[in-house]
Amino acid sequence: QVQLVESGGGVVQPGGSLRLSCAASGFTFSSYGMHWVRQAPGKGLEWVAFIRYDGSNKYYADSVKGRFTISRDNSKNTLYLQMNSLRAEDTAVYYCAKDPGPQGYYFDYWGQGTLVTVSS
């Protein structure tokens, strides 16, 4: 069965950095696109970033472009999100989510999420 397990969340000061990881199992990780989606406390869902199955193409939400970097290591079945220049408005639960295909469409499996809190 598909499993996605995020880690790396925590409390960080404004302007700081954090790297999230998502360990994938139960499917052929290298064949599927992967996403990060976030949800601020009490708010709705916001798509953050996508990476193609082979890492050759990446897309970002305008709100994180230039600050966040999505990457993947297919040999380790792991997805990453490097978050720099963090702001209070980046406080959210961050979910990794699997795409049903290689190119990027929607989210058929989700992890349990990891909480990132940006606060001084």
Partner 1 sequence: DIQMTQSPSTLSASVGDRVTITCRASQSISSWLAWYQQKPGKAPKLLIYKASSLESGVPSRFSGSGSGTEFTLTISSLQPDDFATYYCQQYNSYSLTFGGGTKVEIK
Residues that bind partner 1 (CB under 8 A): 35, 44-47, 50, 59-62, 95, 100, 104-113
How far the first Cα of the chain sits from its last, in Å, is 40
| Least distance CB 48 / partner 1 (angstroms) | 9
Query: Could you tell me if 95 and 79 are in contact, meaning their C-beta atoms sit under 8 angstroms apart?
Result: no
Q: Which is nearer to partner 1, 96 or 118 (CB)?
A: 96
CB 88 within 8 A of CB 13: no
CB of 118 to partner 1, least distance (A): 21
Token readout for 38 is 């976030």
Residue 45 near residue 36 (C-beta atoms within 8 A): no
Which CB sits closer to partner 1, 16 or 59? 59
| Cβ 105 to partner 1 shortest distance, Å | 5
Nearer to partner 1, 16 or 101 (CB): 101
Q: Nearer to partner 1 by C-beta: 41 or 120?
A: 41
How far apart are CB 75 and partner 1 at their closest, in Å?
26
Beta strands of the chain (E only): which ranges?
A: 3-7, 10-12, 18-25, 34-39, 45-51, 58-60, 68-73, 78-83, 92-98, 109-110, 114-118
